[in-house]
Amino acid sequence: MSEHPDCALVRRGYTAFVAGDMDTLGELFTADAVFHVPGDHILSGHHKGREAIMGLFRRIGEETAGTMQIQIETILADGRGHVMSFHTTRADRGDRGLEMREGLFFSIAGGKITDIDECVEDIDELNAFWR
């Protein structure tokens, strides 16, 4: 059984993110895409536009000194332009460590990501890590 094209798109995004391949990653988003990060910390909020999203990803790398690791659990599609992915994130930042299950809800149109909503297992723990 072949992977749904929307799932394949999201998987390519994960692969590019983990490899630090920002050029490939940037190509997967529409120019006006939005990434919604939950919580109340330095990265939370609505990152509007491809360049803002790429800036978010660069900052994550800088803040964690490249220690972030992502382990994909599953990627699911509805066949109507929506994908849900679930993964475990591990990262270090200063004297703090993070290991948390997260989920991303993607909206896709024309083979590009238009919107991502991030959901996390423990918002308080996420806030403490990024503050």
- 10 Å CB burial of residue 53 (0-12, 13-18, 19+) is buried
- Average pLDDT along the chain: 97
Give the pLDDT band (50/70/90) at residue 2: confident
pLDDT of residue 32: 98
Taking only the tens place, the pLDDT of each residue in 87-100 is 999 999 999 999 99
pLDDT of residue 66: 92
Q: What is the CATH number of domain 5-130?
A: 3.10.450.50
For residues 57-72, average pLDDT: 96
pLDDT of 1 > 90? The answer is: no
Give the pLDDT band (50/70/90) at residue 113: very high
pLDDT of 20 > 80? The answer is: yes
With contact defined as beta carbons under 8 Å apart, do 124 and 38 qualify? no
Which token pair is 4? Answer: 């749904």
